[in-house]
Structure 1
């Protein structure tokens, strides 16, 4: 990429940063714009047209079979870049964006969760996974959690600056208090509740490896990720009778529609439905 385009992308990053976009969004948008320009052989922005965007979508995104979410991410990034820096509009609506598949969340049974949480003997690893499930945390939330955010006396945990730059509180289950005390005594974290070997923030990769090891030891043949534990937490709450509005607050969802997906995988109402065969005088 030539120097002027490098400079343009730096300006784009600065604009996003000044508007308090998350670092993850800044990275994904700027990389999307860089891919776009590279595909067009560094064509000057002033000469780029809607047709270029169509060709890029067809010959780069679709031909390489990238996901619907990636396609939207790229189009949104390019659109914003031209709106802000070029002060002109590329019309990405000319590209028919496929609807994102409405997949149900992956959910583990309570027994499977129990087997995973009991599989590890390492105190830090066990505490980390127990906290992840029992509070329904996102991966980023547990990694960013600081010691000062644990409000032990109130039985609450403060989740700071989470998705959508929102703060919220979640319950710190009393059953975790003794484990929490053991953990503090053994590891004495200075800033982050879960820290790496040399101090500082624990890595997302290490968290994934810990969970993978626990899943294997538990004998579970599923590609479990940290978010599966959050999905399972929400579903188990609903099955236990917790109102969906409270689950929405606990998960930090802005819209109740996001939370309602857990009603589709909960078996609370499903268990009350009798099959017609159960009312038949029939020998099986």
Structure 2
């Protein structure tokens, strides 16, 4: 093996998210070494190991594999064009000019990541905060700024976020990520206050009951149907569904115990009586050990795989309406409201901290709208 081993890393795009696929000739030693790298997972859909992508990930992988004396082919990242996740930038040169992190900064961002993980932030939040912090540090390198001041932060916000036409949500993530980095490094910046812009108030997409039934009927794979069914029937976030354990399902009481959900809160939600036969069939067939939905190596089923499942089912059902896995949660809440369930109970089932969050479903429910007499009908 030794220097003859070749590792090829290539971009892997899924749902406009850029990942890093890791390819190699079958070898158990190589496989175990890859699995030992932080944040590496297996995708059954693409039959490859992969990890999340950020600006320093390629350098990290290169150094990691070179420790073994292996060849690393990363040519695909030299020519690949980034898929835009936001509107076209007004000043793309700002991003293009950002220099790489120095070794000390790379080490700091890795320590920052571990610090965030110990605070039990979600995986997505950790990756986002680390990425935006790395961009901020690279911006400081570009401007040759040694001491962080409120002025440098405001300038980064203006050049990299405002002028680049980044979304309001992304701007808020940047502010949060940088502030957490300051806490991690015990950095105090006087008069640092960037106002968080209000998010656009968009109504959620909702599938009708007919569309939901069609979605399930067109899903033939037992695991896929069970996953989509439990997400909808219990109003789960996808992260809650893929981390669900067998012991969390109380068949006798007809409840599902959701543990350490968003905000590290526990809650109970509904276990549909109509879902129980499907669950028993699924458990008997797949015999899951701990997690309800296990991947190839007994790890949690990945969100990437779950999104691919929904995409295929929507296509098979002929549903052209834009929908995500979270759309099933929105649909669950809306259908409960339309059937007369009190908004306070829906809030508890969804695990919302504030009733204001749940009230958005009153704007997409058709029950009250059907009772309104349209003036056109009286013309």
Give the structure-1-normalised TM-score: 0.90
Which residue of structure 2 lines up, in the alignment, with residue 185 of structure 1?
284
Q: Which residue of 2 aligns with 1:205?
A: 304
Q: Does 1:217 align with 2:217?
A: no
Q: Distance in 2 between matches of 1:82 and 1:198?
A: 38
Separation in 1 of the partners of 2:278 and 2:363? 33
User: Structure 2: which 5+ runs fail to align?
Assistant: 1-100
Structure 1 partner of 2:261: 162
Select the residue among 206, 212, 237 that pairs with 1:113: 212
Distance change (3 Å), C-alpha of 1:89 and 1:211: same
Distance of 2:107 and 2:239 partners within structure 1: 31
Segment of structure 1 superposing worse, 109-118 or 37-46: 37-46
- C-alpha distance in 1, partners of 2:191/2:281? 57
Instruction: Quote the Cα distance in structure 2 between the aligned partners of 1:90 and 1:16.
Output: 24
Task: For residue 158 of structure 1, give the secondary structure of its aligned residue in structure 2.
Answer: strand
Q: Is the 8 A contact 1:133 1:229 kept in 2?
A: yes
Higher strand share: 2
Is 202-211 or 269-278 further displaced after alignment? 269-278
- Choose which of 34, 50, 61 in structure 1 pairs with 2:134: 34
Q: Which runs of 4+ in 1 moved over 3 A?
A: 6-24, 42-46, 95-98
Task: Report how far residue 272 of structure 1 moved.
Answer: 1.2
Mapped partners of 1:192, 1:17: distance in 2: 21
Map residues 73-92 of structure 1 onto 2, 5 A cutoff: 73-89=173-189, 91-92=191-192
Structure 1 unmatched ranges of 5 or more: none
* 1:235 alignment partner, one of 334, 355, 360: 334
Matched pairs, number: 279
Task: Calculate the aligned-residue CA RMSD, in Å.
Answer: 2.1
Distance 1:89 1:48, change over 3 A: closer
The structure whose RCO (Cα within 8 Å, separation 6+) is larger is 1
Q: CA offsets, 1:23-64, max 9 Å, x none?
A: 433332222211101122177875122222122122222233
Spell out the pairing of 1:79-158 with structure 2 (5 A cutoff). Answer: 79-89=179-189, 91-93=191-193, 95-158=194-257
